Amino acid sequence: MYYCGAMRKTFTQKLFRWYSLYKRNLPWIGSNDPYKVWLSEVILQQTRVEQGLSYYQKFVKKYPDIQQLANAPHDEVMKMWEGLGYYSRARNMHSTAKQVVEELNSSFPDTYEGLIQLKGIGQYTAHAILSYAYKKPFAVVDGNVLRVMARYFGIREPIDTPKGKTLIQQHADSLLDKKEPDVFNQAMMDFGALICKPRQPDCENCPLQKSCAGYQQELTDILPVKSKKIKRQTRYLHFFVFRAGEKILVEQRIANDIWKNLYQFPVIETSKNVSSKSLMESEDYQAFRIKNPLPVITSPIFKQQLTHQQLICRFYIFDLKSIDKIKRSGVKQVTFTQLKQLAFPGVIRDFLKINDYF
């Protein structure tokens, strides 16, 4: 993929002019600190800027440099991340911070090959660090850029296939302003977020309209093309809240899934919706071996929509004389005050908030 200098210059001039007038004022923009660039990129993956902003500010305040993040207790980092979802990002982030501090003298590599070795850093984040922090000529291609490129060049190749992604990366590489790669990359993202939006792009006010193939060929409604429809699995989770006086029973998830290391209440999962009665008669429930077998409160249904899963959750609250003998590996008793220090998945946090535990 190659564009003549004049074409590239026109594209960049229009983009930069628009950016100088309308750029978003975000705290990580203009930073040449690779730690802050990396932190913002990790937080913003699969997260809207409006949601990620407060988390970025919170993390930078608590951990102003990578050493402080690396030395923080893991539970504290997970608690700070609570509510942002995709918890593997937090786990990878913490382990990468330790690796950079312990093995790389607290400095992020300034090469693609060096960065890509680090846990949780893929092509996108490596390009972001190299262009924003080190001003190196690497084009950053996120969801915004995929959309802008697909529309601007009228690309009908699905953008969620390796072929489509490679094609768009080549277009972006070829258009990249090599003198100011950081400004170019940020301008492309802001342009995608504010003008060439996922729905109803603002073509009437777009400075690139005259040369946009998607607009000229009236394809903006169908571009970008995606090949896959996301299939969602429905999971039914029944959480058991066993309380006795000031104590409550929790367990830490050790399974290697999206909630690894987070806390939860003892849970039974079923593949379909079941009544409370049949749940209480199940072997899994009997294995708790509690004396008073009925909950005092059964919550309404709590739902959480994840990218590939729909969670249908219910909480069964028990007030017991003692929770010492409840059988379950990995459970531990905490006080209501200690409960506040633990990181929970979003759906449990919603339950705790509604019930005034937090």
Binding mask 75-104 for ligand SF4 (x = CB under 6 A): ------------------------------
Three state DSSP letters for the chain: CCCCHHHHHHHHHHHHHHHHHHCCCCCCCCCCCHHHHHHHHHHHCCCCHHHHHHHHHHHHHHCCCHHHHHHCCHHHHHHHHCCCCCCHHHHHHHHHHHHHHHHCCCCCCCCHHHHHCCCCCCHHHHHHHHHHHCCCCCCCCCHHHHHHHHHHCCCCCCCCCHHHHHHHHHHHHHHCCCCCHHHHHHHHHHHHHHCCCCCCCCHHHCCCHHHCHHHHCCCCCCCCCCCCCCCCEEEEEEEEEEEECCEEEEEECCCCCCCCCCEECCEEEECCCCCHHHHHHCHHHHCCCCCCCCCCEECCCEEEECCCEEEEEEEEEEECCCCCCCCCCCEEEEEHHHHCCCCCCHHHHHHHHHCCCC
Q: Which is nearer to ligand SF4, 21 or 230 (CB)?
A: 21
For ligand SF4, which residue of 203, 244, 306, 312 counts as binding (CB under 6 A)? 203
Nearest distance from residue 301's CB to ligand SF4, in Å?
A: 40
149 interacts with ligand SF4 by CB under 6 A: no
201 binding ligand SF4? (CB under 6 A):
yes
CB of 149 to ligand SF4, least distance (A): 9
**Which of 15, 126, 150, 195 is close enough to bind ligand SF4 by CB under 6 A?**
195
Stretch that binds ligand SF4, among 34-42, 52-60, 205-213, 308-316 (CB under 6 A): 205-213
Which one of 139, 168, 183, 196 is in contact with ligand SF4 (CB under 6 A)?
196
Contact between 151 and ligand SF4 by CB under 6 A: the answer reads yes
Q: Which is nearer to ligand SF4, 96 or 169 (CB)?
A: 169
- Which entry of 41, 103, 204, 283 is annotated as an active-site residue? 41
Window contacting ligand SF4 (CB under 6 A); options: 41-49, 66-74, 147-155, 237-245: 147-155
Q: Which stretch binds ligand SF4 (CB under 6 A): 38-46, 201-209, 274-282, 319-327?
A: 201-209
- Residue 246 annotated as catalytic: no
What residues between 207 and 266 interact with ligand SF4 by CB under 6 A? Answer: 208-209, 212, 214-215, 220
**Smallest distance from ligand SF4 to CB 89, Å:** 29
How many residues lie near ligand SF4 (CB under 6 A)? Answer: 15
> Closest separation between CB of residue 12 and ligand SF4, Å?
14
Question: In the complex with ligand SF4, which residue's Cβ is closer, 193 or 206?
Answer: 206
Q: Is the dihedral of CA 213, 215, 219, 223 positive or negative?
A: positive
Residues with catalytic roles:
41
Can you give the binding site for ligand SF4, defined by CB under 6 A?
Answer: 148, 151-152, 195-196, 201-203, 206, 208-209, 212, 214-215, 220
